[in-house]
Amino acid sequence: MAVLVSGNPGAGKSTLTAELLHRGVRAVDADEVEGLAAWTGQDGEVVGDASLPVTPELLARCSWAWSPTAVTRLAADLGRDGVLLGIAVNQWDVLDAFDTLVLLELDEETQRARVATRDPLVQQQVLAGRAGLQRRMLERGAVSLDASRPTAAVADDLLALLRRPGPRSRVEA
């Protein structure tokens, strides 16, 4: 089963994906997989894709969620040494598709600097959720990597984790 690398916006998931691909790792940025995620309403119905403009109304009534079926299929296709990097409000529902959960952990100052050019509404939402997401991932047995370090160093640590024989961590739903 594959590895799920998650973390708050600004943690470096997309940058790390590019670094891993450069090193020959089977890595996928969840934001780049068409049909994997969508804005969903509180009832779980799909409202739209990433092309929707982010507005206060959208953020108040919708969440960015993954299709459990698509994630499970992708994780199986990636195999034991494959890595899916991304974040979604319902990622907890698909943890059983992965044998390892990795948290790209970062402090508030680093996150604030990295999301400074993003939409102010998005900035506000992601900064408010940083501590909660990180706590929840650690409670579920995530391996923590310091995402405030250079991408190459984070990639080195992740590759060392991938090379470990046997169980790498325990993922709890």
Please give the residue that has the higher pLDDT: either 53 or 126.
53
Find out whether 16 and 5 touch, Cβ atoms under 8 Å: yes
Half-sphere exposure of 46 (CA within 13 A, CB side): 10
Cα–Cα separations (whole angstroms), residue 18 to 26, 69, 74? 11, 25, 18
* CATH code of domain 2-35+63-163: 3.40.50.300
Cα(11)–Cα(114) distance, integer angstroms: 8
Tokens of 97: 């598709």
| Residue found under tokens 């501590």 | 131
**What pLDDT does 173 receive?**
40
- In the chain, the percentage of residues whose pLDDT exceeds 90 is 55
Domain boundaries, the chain: 2-35+63-163
| pTM of the complete model beyond 0.75 | yes
Q: For 73-87, what is the mean pLDDT?
A: 94
At 172, the pLDDT band (50, 70, 90 cuts) reads very low
What's the pLDDT tens digit per position in 16-62? 999 999 999 999 999 899 989 999 998 889 998 888 888 888 888 88
**What is the per-residue pLDDT across 52-70, written as a single tens digit (0 to 9) for each?**
888 888 888 888 899 999 9
pLDDT at 122 over 60: yes
Contact 67, 36 (CB under 8 A): yes
pLDDT range class, residue 123, cuts 50, 70, 90: confident
